[in-house]
Chain A
Amino acid sequence: MTQWSILDTWIVIVGSLCAAACALPGTLLVLRKMSMMGDAISHTVLAGLAIAFLVTHRRDPATMFVGAVVIGLVTALLIQLVGSLGRTEIGASMGIVFTSLFAMGLVLMRQAIDHVEIDPDCVLYGAIEASYFDQITWMGMNLPRAAIINGGAGIFNLLLIVVLYKEFKVSAFDPALSTTLGINANVMHYLLMTMTAVTTVAAFETVGSILVIAMLIVPPATAYLLTDRLSFMMCWSVLLAILAAIFGHVSAVTVPTWFGFGGTSTAGMMAFCAGLIFVAVWLLAPRHGVLSKVFHRCILQLRIVREDVLGLLYRLEELPPSHELSTTPALLQGILGVGPVLSTLAVSSLARRGYIEHRSGQLHLTNQGRRAGRHLIRSHRLWESFLQKHLHLASDHVHEPAEQLEHITDAAMQNQLAERTNQPQTDPHGKKIP
């Protein structure tokens, strides 16, 4: 592995600044379901640069910057225009506008290629590796220009969002509502577009035109799976974006060496790492993750089986002694109709908690278990009464729903049920309500 140097430190800093700057407007884009707007605008930066040059014949950074931002806004306008004139859906009008402008950018660039130092590759890869060498002096310090530009864009975004936080929030949530509240949703839309354009143009040199969209969308989308609150979502997405930038560079330097290569594009690996983080969160997120959903479903299922075991044992105890049935685990499994894994798990966890005990190969309720079983059966039969009485279900149809409802009934709900059903002594099948 190559030695870590000041160069690498600056690459990571520039990458993080760029990623963080992108994550802020990106959050709003994702929430407003306009992520692809970032894609569209980032594609047209090229045309903006070429047009700015052809119009002014100047190539100082300020002109280029303004030109590109203006074209970014024009893109947003054109997309709306094509959408309304052509009556096409927003996706199609984006596709039409940004590809046309991108094509125009490429042609103009070929025409002006001898004058402008834009490398077509740079459009895609960005020049983050070289950012350290392009330094300017600012407040007595030599800093990479890219760091200042991206940092500036980040601060611009942060200020705008802090000042207009609630406006952005309401217009992202419900544009129609925000207009009735006196916040012009259109104005907010174009403010967001301005932010996106500024950020994109700033990030353009650093991560390249297409990877901007990775930084704009992937971290906020990941954050959306982690939290339900806008402010947290923004913090998360900034954090995740920085993480992606750091890991991106580290892996760009290290991973290829494992296969005998010398290192690869940092920008590409940043996008890849953002993707990896997304996959990890998609799998593991506490509430919205795939695994946690599966896990919760399993836990719930286990709880239901456990309660069913208790209920079944209680019912068996209710029977007159002459009907004494053997209560081996295998038999329970058969009656409840669940798989061996679930029932074994349920029985062992019940035994561990002291609800049931094994006596000579048979399962018996402990006192504690009997109380729990009684609660459950009471819920079940109260529900049956309720369903029959208030929803007019036939008595032979009340068992199934009650079976499901009993598992979500706590003591308070039980009391309420008892009240609504006038404290019945027996359920619709004539069984005693304990």
Chain B
Amino acid sequence: MLLAVLSILHGTQIAVASDQASGNPGRSIRPVNSIADSSIHWPSAEQFLRVLTLRDFNTRVVVLGVACLGLACGTIGTFLLLRKRSLTADALSHATLPGIAIAFIIMAKLGGDGKQLAGLLLGAFIFGGLGVGAILVIRHTTRLKDDAALGIVLSVFFGVGLSLLNLIQQMPLGHAAGLNRFIFGKAASMLPVDAWTILIAALVISLSCLVLFKELTLLCFDQGYARSQGWSVITLDMVLMVLVVGVTVIALQSVGLVLAVAMLIIPSAAARFWTEHLARMVIISAVIGMVGGYLGATISALVPRMPTGPVIVLVCSGAFIVSVACGPKRGVVARTVAQKRLGRRVAIQHLLRAVYECSEMAEKKVSSGNTVANVTAPLGELVKVRSWSINQLSRLIRSACRGKLLVSGNSGVALTDHGLREAERVVRNHRLWETYLIHYADIAPSHVDRDADEIEHILGHDMIVHLEQILSGKVKSDPMPPSPHHLSVAPTDVNGVTA
């Protein structure tokens, strides 16, 4: 990747236009707009290909610069997000504005044109640091909370910056228009030297992140433990913040200071949906940031009237929305499916238990020969056991029959062999758990049924073994302990009371 950029940047040094001109042919053919016209002029396939394959020098510069930026943002943003300091980045990016303005004024007074990027970024860096310092001072010396500290620093610094920009516009030299690009971002105005600056800074920041991976992890995960281990939490926080200020400063030119925070948070928040592993999260986040930068810059070069910064952010937001929906474990879809599946499993287990208990009582009444296995439970009885509607019940029964757990006959349903084993397991867990609750958790027996219902489905094997051990003295162990409370269907049947 670095090599590619090297070769590109060492290519022809064409003079660089200051607007998104060459990559943006759509603009010249813009028709006269009617008031209701908000259509987008799609580029031709050839233009599309030209831009996507980075054939134009200017596009190449812009796209690669922004992609590197996305990479650095995604990397450091992960830690920022996990440290729960997301909005600090917002405050400090706004706080850079007076730094940029002052750097401009100083450089102009010293006789330059005031627009050297390095100088401006240095000013931005210093004021970003000052902003963080001010936040810390407010947080520690007043009773104001974090949020107010952020708001104060953000707005006051930004106000000062705006006032200074206004002054710059009145300077004889000053074309503050060039500075406005730091507010909303204008990647298209990027020069090769700017791209170099961004590239190097981005690589340095990403590398520092990797080198400090373990320290930052510890800081974000458990700062109390970090401190007890002799790590200076303040130093670690400073390191993190310096990296964040650094990446924010280089983001100013492409996405602007209002949106710089988005590049830090959104890719990492999206990445969180794809993995439970930090290293992977950093990589995914960096990739999302990079692809977002690449696609955003490309789209804005292709489609007329698409400002680069906002488009990049919107591409990242799109990635976030997709991640929220489709993330493998935490995503909405996955969670809904898992919940549905669990709900169905629980319902089927309830059904099996109901059938089993009905059969059990029938067996007791008949009191000879019959085993639970070949007794059929009439539907009417089952409906009474739980608050099922007939429809729900028949749907459940159908689904259980498909799973070869039940066979349904004319008079009702009966357990298959497989179903019987499953039902025995479920009922057994349930009763063990009920007994456990009665004896150990001081719950009145009449309340036990509900609690046990919710928990039996998540009991692991080892826990059941353990319960059996505990209860070995209290419950007749095998094969099936009796229910410790009345089975509600059969009011006349009194044999189930606690042993």
Chain A contact residues, CB within 8 Å of chain B: 30, 33-36, 38-39, 43, 54, 57, 82, 85-89, 91-92, 94-96, 99-100, 102-104, 106-107, 110-115, 120-121, 124-125, 208, 210-211, 213-214, 216-218, 220-221, 224-225, 252, 256, 259, 261-262, 264-265, 267-272, 274-275, 278, 282, 288, 290
Contacts and interface: CB of A to CB of B under 8 A. Distances in A.
Interface in B15-57: 33, 35-36, 38, 40
Interface stretch (B264-272, B382-390, B433-441): B264-272
Given A92-B269, A110-B306, A216 B151 contact: yes
A262 B169 CA distance: 11
Contacts of A290: 141
A364 B358 CA distance: 100
10 contacts: A30-B148, A88-B269, A95-B265, A99-B262, A99-B313, A218-B152, A221-B152, A267-B159, A268-B158, A288-B142
B262 A103 contact: yes
Interface string B244-262: 0000000000000011011
Pairs of residues from A and B, 6 with the lowest C-beta to C-beta distance, nearest first: A271-B159, A275-B156, A214-B155, A99-B262, A268-B163, A268-B162
B313 A103 contact: yes
Contacts of B36: 57
A86 B314 contact: no
Nearest to B323: A86
Interface of B: 33, 35-36, 38, 40, 81, 84-87, 89-90, 94, 138, 141-148, 150-152, 154-156, 158-167, 170, 180, 183-184, 258-259, 261-262, 264-266, 269, 272-273, 305-307, 309-311, 313-314, 317, 320, 324, 330, 332
Nearest to A289: B142
Q: Which of A103, A265, A270 has the most chain B CB within a 10 Å cutoff?
A: A103
A286 to B, nearest CB: 14
A268 B166 contact: yes
Given A99-B262, A100-B266, A100-B313, A269 B163 contact: yes
Contacts of B144: 30, 221, 224-225
Nearest to A259: B167
Given A88-B269, A210-B94, A99 B151 contact: no
Contacts of A39: 87, 90, 151, 154-155
B162 A282 contact: no
A211 B261 contact: no
A269 B152 CA distance: 14
Contacts of A213: 151, 154-155
B317 A57 contact: no
A98 to B, nearest CB: 9
A110 B155 CA distance: 25
A92 B86 contact: yes
A44 to B, nearest CB: 12
A269 B151 CA distance: 16
Nearest to B88: A91
B460 to A, nearest CB: 25
A217 B305 contact: no
Nearest to B87: A91
Nearest to A209: B258
A38 to B, nearest CB: 7
Contact of B330 (A43, A87, A92, A278): A87
Contacts of A268: 158-164, 166
B114 to A, nearest CB: 16
Contacts of B311: 103, 107
Given A95-B90, A110-B305, A282 B142 contact: yes
Given A103-B313, A107-B307, 14 more contacts: A30-B147, A36-B90, A86-B324, A92-B81, A99-B261, A99-B313, A100-B262, A100-B317, A102-B310, A103-B259, A218-B155, A221-B152, A271-B159, A271-B160
A89 B166 contact: no
Contacts of B324: 82, 85-86
